[in-house]
Amino acid sequence: MIVRCSLWVGLFLVSWASAAAALCREDSITLRDGETSARFSIEVADTDEERGQGLMFREEMPLSAGMLFIFDSAGSVAFWMRNTLIPLDMIFLGPDGTVSKIHENAIPLDETPIFGGNDIQYVLEINGGLAAQLGLSEGAVAQHPAFDPEIAIFPCE
């Protein structure tokens, strides 16, 4: 009986670990802020061409969707809303996946630069107003395979 119970517990832990690992995929990102956790299906923009196009000309985006912009190294970044038709929240992240800044409800078609910071390597764009609705704030952490597991605060396992 003890052996069966231990075996069952072991299978449960393996299943749970497998499920957790399955969540860490290129096409999704998880944000955690205290007790709040949110997962988004994402498109990745990791080339100059993809980053330049971003979410331009889209008339809508599913509520649980977004785009993750990945830069080769951390640096100063500024975004704008040229040809972007939907309001967006821009979540600026450092190399370790920590949220440095959230710019809420960027105005569609506005070409005013939105400065994200000096040590930014990733930017997540989601539907405007959603970060506040979810209770996300600076200091939240993100999980995605692009984050270096040696320094990520919330690494993939």
- What's the whole-model pTM score? 0.86
Q: What homologous superfamily is domain 2-143 in, according to CATH?
A: Protein of unknown function DUF192 (2.60.120.1140)
For residue 157, the model assigns a pLDDT of: 84
Listed by start position, the domains of the chain span: 2-143
Three-class DSSP category at 3? helix
CB < 8 Å & 24+ apart, contacts of 102-109: 102/131, 102/136, 102/137, 102/138, 104/128, 104/129, 104/131, 104/132, 105/129, 106/79, 106/81, 107/81, 108/81, 108/84, 109/81, 109/82, 109/83, 109/84, 109/85
Is the model's pLDDT at 24 over the cut of 80? yes
| Contact status, residue 140 vs residue 33, Cβ threshold 8 Å | yes
Residues facing residue 67 across a β-bridge: 43, 125
Is the model's pLDDT at 21 over the cut of 60? no
Is the model's pLDDT at 66 over the cut of 90? yes
For residue 22, the model assigns a pLDDT of: 52
For residue 49, the model assigns a pLDDT of: 98
Q: Using one digit for the tens of pLDDT, what is the confidence trace for 84-120?
A: 999 999 999 999 999 999 999 999 999 999 999 999 9
Residue 112: how many other CB atoms lie within 10 Å: 9
